Amino acid sequence: MSSTLDELIAEHADLETRLADPAVHADPAVARALGRRYAALSGVVETSRALDAADGDLAAARELAAEDPGFRDEVDSLETARASLEDKLRGLLVPRDPDDDRDAILEVKAGEGGEESALFAGDLLRMYLRYAERHGWKTEILDATPSDLGGYKDVSVAVKARGDTGGVYGRLRFEGGVHRVQRVPVTESQGRIHTSAAGVLVLPEAAEVDVAVDPNDLRIDVYRSSGPGGQSVNTTDSAVRITHLPTGVVVSCQNEKSQLQNKESALRILRARLLAVAREKANAQASAARASQVRTVDRSERVRTYNFAENRIADHRVGYKAHNLEQVLDGDLDAVLDALVTADTEAKLAGPDPAPKLAGAPGR
């Protein structure tokens, strides 16, 4: 652990020097990336310093306890505090997903269940928007296809951290997968509980410098947008469909009235998907995990269940259960995400052949 820790402390010091150089800030993208890495390493450095201080305090307390047994309680207290810091540092040194500090693009798609599934997709979108609001993150709807009753057939939203805090993707990446809801739909006249599902896909947002997109590799089609909207709907060719010919990846956007704005939104989603493809090719394990996010939006392929009758939320990957469904859907997701992050960290700490991987991780 010490050699890795020494390297990270040295990298943190180097980043501090580089960020103090005004020339670095001439390129905002570079400065932002360095700032996020610096922020990510700051927790390691601060915990390491606290552990060093605890070692010094513990050594002094043991010397005093050797002369005066009355200091034994102080030694016990410091030993407990030191052990806690050591566990925290060990967790911080667990290899992280290289994309954890990135912003994210989150997609929600209705699945089985018709209009009820679309309404549930809208509930999930609201949950993520409220969660982002609680954390001071910025959100931007890139594309959306509303349903007739006010839900969404599919919707894509960009989630961005403010400043250099980063960590959006690292926090949301376990949300990928099929989410199942059990409740009485508004379309049900006899009060029967139905089960439907919606799929969530989480991608790290890619910058232009991460993914080089050759314009010659793109086929861009324009068409008239459909669905509810303003005067431009069904009257102008504002919707855009981009096909990346080498990979076959297709992205469509019709949310904005401007064809140019829809093109820019589609390119953002395309870059994120192409970055995911590149990561998959480089890492077979990531490929398997990415495929597990949303194989089919089927009720049986679920990572989480939202049961309204019992006011219960259950994450099936880690056995998490709580009876605060209303609060969770209002954006109070931290306890659920903490359980997923903790399980992932413990699996990595266990070394080779750890406990079963989280089905929806990582979100690529």
Q: pLDDT (tens digit, 0 to 9) for every residue of the chain, 364 residues total?
A: 555 888 899 999 999 999 999 998 998 878 888 887 888 889 899 999 999 999 999 999 999 999 988 889 999 999 999 999 998 888 888 877 778 888 999 999 998 778 899 999 999 999 999 999 999 999 999 989 999 888 999 999 999 988 666 689 999 999 999 999 999 887 776 778 889 999 999 998 887 656 778 889 999 998 887 755 444 445 577 899 999 999 899 999 988 888 898 998 999 899 898 888 877 776 655 445 445 554 444 444 689 999 999 999 999 999 999 999 999 999 999 999 999 988 888 888 776 544 444 444 333 3
Assess whether 331 and 209 both reside in one domain.
Answer: yes
Assess whether 165 and 43 both reside in one domain.
Answer: no
Residue that terminates a domain, selected from 52, 70, 92: 92
Residue that terminates a domain, selected from 64, 92, 120: 92
Residue 209 belongs to a domain with what CATH number? 3.30.70.1660
Assess whether 59 and 187 both reside in one domain.
Answer: no
Assess whether 142 and 82 both reside in one domain.
Answer: no
Assess whether 251 and 226 both reside in one domain.
Answer: yes
- Cα–Cα distances (Å) from 154 to 97, 122, 236, 325, in that order, read 27, 9, 22, 23
Assess whether 212 and 361 both reside in one domain.
Answer: yes
- Cα–Cα distances (Å) from 267 to 57, 143, 253, 324, in that order, read 55, 12, 9, 38
Residues 6 or more apart whose Cβ sits within 8 Å of residue 289? 357, 360, 361, 362, 364
Return the SS3 of 314. strand
* CA distance linking residue 152 with residue 203, whole number of Å: 19
Residue that terminates a domain, selected from 92, 127, 157: 92
Give the number of domains in the chain: 2
Assess whether 22 and 167 both reside in one domain.
Answer: no
Assess whether 76 and 205 both reside in one domain.
Answer: no
Assess whether 175 and 209 both reside in one domain.
Answer: yes
Asked if 216 contacts 342 with a C-beta cutoff of 8 angstroms, the reply is no
Assess whether 137 and 80 both reside in one domain.
Answer: no
Assess whether 112 and 56 both reside in one domain.
Answer: no
Helix, strand, coil % in the chain, rounded to nearest 5: 50, 20, 30
* CA distance linking residue 58 with residue 155, whole number of Å: 54
Question: Can you give the residue range of the structural domain that contains 65?
Answer: 2-92
Residue type, 230: G
Assess whether 122 and 180 both reside in one domain.
Answer: yes
